[in-house]
Structure 1
Amino acid sequence: MVDVVLDKKEVAQIWEKLLETHQKDIQPNRALVETILKEEVVFLIFNLEHL
């Protein structure tokens, strides 16, 4: 098992860049869209649990 330390600000910036990059895709990649939606749900749940 590997421990990974993530900087929340850096992750948010990378995630935003990814979304911006693919926002104008004419034919979005289905797997990418599914991943984005799943990650957004996980992010929302995580934040709600830590209120």
Structure 2
Amino acid sequence: MRPRQLAVACSLLGVADVGWTPTLHGRIDSGREADRAVARGAGAGRMP
């Protein structure tokens, strides 16, 4: 079974954790962390 077929089969069976994280999700998560770091440095959310 190919990795894509395995992922589809696992999702249909309700298996939440197949032991790997798709690359796209990893990039999105790391992007969020980078955005937070930039926002902190810029003083986002602080009253003047």
- Structure with the greater alpha carbon radius of gyration: 2
More helix by share: 1
Higher normalized contact order (CA 8 Å, seq sep 6+, divided by chain length): 2
Q: TM-score, normalised to structure 1's length?
A: 0.46
Please report the TM-score for the alignment, with normalisation by the length of structure 2: 0.49
